Structure 1
Amino acid sequence: MSQWVQLRIQAKAAQVDACENALLALGALSVTLQDNADQPILEPELGTTPLWDDTQIIGLFDADTHTAAIVEQFPLMFAAEGGVGSVDLLWEQVEDKDWVRAWMDTYKPMQFGPRLWVCPSWCQPPQPDAVNLLLDPGLAFGTGTHPTTALCLRYLDEHIKGGEEVVDFGCGSGILGMAALLLGARTMTGIDIDPQALTATRDNAQRNDIRRDRFEVYLPQHTPAVQADITVANILAGPLNELAPQLAQLTRSGGKLALSGLLSHQADDVIQRYNEWFVMDTPKQQEDWVIISGTRR
């Protein structure tokens, strides 16, 4: 018998907060929001949490929950939370299976270029003699599954020859910095605005036997003067445009630059922004995403 049931609700953006608060007040163990109309939200402004116009809300409850009582009480609680109008409710039984094992089974070793593999800790590396980066999903963004991360990893596999000083602005999980070091870079400076990302980077570097003196991590305001041989930044178009002078300053004359987190239609604007400091290359694309690169003038 299943241990959980879930209440599925179709709502408009203006109804989401009231629905979420009502579900939690009625004993939901968790509440999940999903896009209900294939509406992308590609680059929200900083400090905002935009919602889809049509949102699917899923409240998870214990299987012993009195579902009829919840259905009866929900409209009253929804109205008490400021909800306007009505919403459709649908109870579903949650499949009973080993969710941890199911999740682990979906995350497999991935290859990026001729040399580099990213492997979860519970899998045997397919090529033990290759450059194998051990990384499990965790606190911060970046496991190699997203096209922008994959593009950056392939760039590093191609351009790291040995002995480079590398900067990763927006280091997230530390995946790009660790890949650079394992491929032969001498040092890595990771920079991120999120303290959790710095923690994740340190933990992941330790798991890969990378000495702390080879991989230093900083908040942006504490970053020391660096002249990198290669600078990578996998963030978003808006921040990349704003950071152009800073990323140029971090890169030595003749040094390399790789930028991702960009949709294909955003590439021209970012290239134009960086032309002042870099000779830019033709973008490379994977699905709807691109990486742009260049050489410091």
Structure 2
Amino acid sequence: MSWLQIRVAVRRAEVEAVEAAMEAAGAAAVTFADAADEPQLEPPPGATPLWRAVEVTGLFADDAEGEAQVRELEAALRRLVANAPVVARLADQVWERVWLDTFRPTRFGRRLWVCPHGQRPDDPEAVVVALDPGLAFGTGHHPTTALCLTWLDGCALAGETLIDYGCGSGILAIAAARLGAARVIAVDHDPQALEATSANAAANGVAERVLVCHPDQAPDVVADRLVANILAAPLIALAGRFAECLRPGGALALSGILAEQVEAVAAAYAAGFALALPQRREDWALLTGRRLEGRQSGA
């Protein structure tokens, strides 16, 4: 079976109206994608997790009824938004196979691998995090996630408690548990992220060591390590909270930081942490450091 696809690039403020128009026209599915190559990491609490420029796509059956629906929708969209919609015929595919063709086992650091389920690297020392196609957002391919995974691979995590703040798919939390952490607290405000993290933790056999929770429900613990792959603005706002979450000497890793934002983020943590020089990958940076004895962050 083939499908008719109609897609249009719109401003974020126009997304709701375009989505409603597609659903009213009878779309079998409506999806959103980045229309301007803008990274979308974990947004701050209360933010809408969409890009400034969004490509909205509607999928319709490739039959007479679907053709009529697409024609009517195309005319409606031309009145609704400035950009012209694009209509295409989409051949049906085994979508899991398409996903697997683009997601290969990938190593981070010395022994940590992220792989599709059913695949394992030819490495007897490999520590594997397996992900399902249906829960694949956050696979380690973004530079910020790769930086954090490599940092985790270099940590001595056995017996430690780690907080993953802004857990997304749970990839960092699961990696920490697979690398030996005794307890991992995976925190996120997005219900979809919490669901994905729980499912992925169970699939990787570490659910009993990964507590998945909303920030408001996070336990009052003092952890050995904390990793946060979110965005610069919430990282700055959370500096004081992160200082309270870590024991003196506890290790911190912050990412989701553009190169030009490093100085501002480092300044927010300077009072409470001894920071190392940033590590960089493409346009992104990772800040790491240690909690200072008996001092609070000034942010």
1:141-180 matched pairs, under 5 angstroms: 141-160=137-156, 162-180=158-176
Structure 2 equivalent of residue 186 of structure 1:
182
In the TM superposition, residue 108 of structure 1 has moved relative to its aligned partner by 1.2
Structure 2 equivalent of residue 27 of structure 1:
26
Q: Find the residue that maps to 1:159 and give its secondary structure.
A: coil
CA contact (8 A) 1:160 1:180 kept: no
CA distance in 1, matches of 2:56, 2:200: 34
Distance 1:209 1:34, change over 3 A: closer
CA distance in 2, matches of 1:211, 1:50: 30
Structure 2 equivalent of residue 255 of structure 1:
250
In the TM superposition, residue 24 of structure 1 has moved relative to its aligned partner by 2.7
Structure 2 equivalent of residue 267 of structure 1:
262
In the TM superposition, residue 237 of structure 1 has moved relative to its aligned partner by 1.1
Q: Which moved more, 1:152-161 or 1:127-136?
A: 127-136
Opposite residue 112 of structure 1, the aligned amino acid is F
CA contact (8 A) 1:166 1:180 kept: yes
Task: Specify every segment of 5 or more residues in structure 1 that has no aligned partner in the other structure, as ranges.
Answer: none
CA distance in 2, matches of 1:49, 1:210: 28
Structure 2 equivalent of residue 47 of structure 1:
47
Q: Deviations over 1:29-84 (max 9, x none)?
A: 22344555x3637677743366646x6543321111357744663477559xxx45
Opposite residue 62 of structure 2, the aligned amino acid is A
In the TM superposition, residue 121 of structure 1 has moved relative to its aligned partner by 0.7
CA contact (8 A) 2:40 2:51 kept: no
1:197-212 matched pairs, under 5 angstroms: 197-210=193-206, 212=208
CA distance in 1, matches of 2:161, 2:100: 34
* Percent of residue pairs identical: 43
Structure 1 equivalent of residue 287 of structure 2:
292
CA contact (8 A) 1:230 1:255 kept: yes
Bigger radius of gyration, 1 or 2? 1
TM-score normalised according to structure 1 size:
0.83
Structure 1 equivalent of residue 102 of structure 2:
106
Distance 1:71 1:184, change over 3 A: closer
Distance 1:8 1:109, change over 3 A: same
Structure 1 equivalent of residue 225 of structure 2:
230
CA distance in 1, matches of 2:77, 2:269: 50
Q: Which moved more, 1:10-19 or 1:109-118?
A: 10-19
Structure 2 equivalent of residue 279 of structure 1:
274
Aligned to 2:211, which of 197, 206, 216?
216
CA distance in 2, matches of 1:71, 1:203: 36
Distance 1:50 1:102, change over 3 A: closer
Aligned to 2:120, which of 117, 124, 128?
124
Confirm or deny that 1:61 pairs with 2:60: yes
In the TM superposition, residue 16 of structure 1 has moved relative to its aligned partner by 5.1
In the TM superposition, residue 120 of structure 1 has moved relative to its aligned partner by 1.4
Q: Deviations over 1:196-219 (max 9, x none)?
A: 43333333222222261x332332
CA distance in 1, matches of 2:230, 2:283: 15
